[in-house]
Structure 1
Amino acid sequence: MNVLIVESSRELSVLWQRPLANMGARVCIARDEEAAAALLREIEFQVILLDLMLEQGSALSVADFASYRQPEAPVIFVTDTTFFSDGSIFQLCANARAFLPSSTPPEDLVAMVAHYGGALCPG
């Protein structure tokens, strides 16, 4: 399974990448909207982990582009803010499947990725 992590924080992206890779996922990391769009043009992803508050670019633009290029790829939004805590993200993004705090334990993120993207295999 190919997983795209779009996260400005290197520390968070590595924290999320390790358990996904340990469970057999091929993980690509983009730090901003431009890098995410480039990867979405080149690689088919089964799941996208997307920080709602990117330092450069718009997470909503990334989700919109993903919906266009890869409409079957579910997006799991993560954030450290209360923005969209009313659930309106699901009205704005057709491919949004979950909305989690950035502090979600990595093993819980792995479970969400496996749920939405298909089973991961230890490897």
Structure 2
Amino acid sequence: MPVLIVEHDTERARRWQTSLQCQGLEVISVPGQREAVIVMQTRSVSLLVVNLDLTEGSALTVADFASYRHPNAKVIFLTDSNMFSDGSIFMHAGNACAYLPASTPPEDLVAMVEHFRSVA
């Protein structure tokens, strides 16, 4: 099952996608909530990588829809802000498995994705 990236910064999404694909993972990348919902309605996903600072839609809505449509899928949230820096993201999104800065190096993100896919 593919990993779904929901990231409005196309360059960042491309770096993440390329790094994950280099590890043999199937990856779908979309810029916002609407496209993420469409993907989750038509495809199974095993893990989502979602930027909390989406410019189109809400990252929490994406996570909520994922929990409904794909109850075993986990979500790695990334952000450029200090939103949820108190760890409360784990109370707001039951499928959250990690909270990272959006500047996390792609190779570190790959390690997180591989870890959470293996424990799913």
Which string of whole-angstrom CA distances, capped at 9 and with x for unpartnered residues, describes residues 68-115 of structure 1? 000100000000000000000000001000000000000000000000
Moved over 4 A (4+): none
| Length-normalised TM-score, structure 1 | 0.94
Match of 2:2 in 1: 2
**How many aligned positions are there?**
119
Shift of 1:30: 1.0
Shift of 1:118: 2.2
Match of 2:31 in 1: 31
Map 1:64-103 to 2 at 5 A.
64-103=64-103
Stretches of structure 2 lacking an aligned partner (at least 5 in a row): none
Could you tell me how far apart the structure 2 residues matched to 1:118 and 1:29 are? Answer: 21
Q: Aligned residues: percent identity?
A: 49
Which string of whole-angstrom CA distances, capped at 9 and with x for unpartnered residues, describes residues 23-77 of structure 1? 0111001101000000011111111000001001011000000000001000000
Stretches of structure 1 lacking an aligned partner (at least 5 in a row): none
- RMSD (Å), alpha carbons: 1.0
Could you tell me how far apart the structure 2 residues matched to 1:47 and 1:111 are? Answer: 13
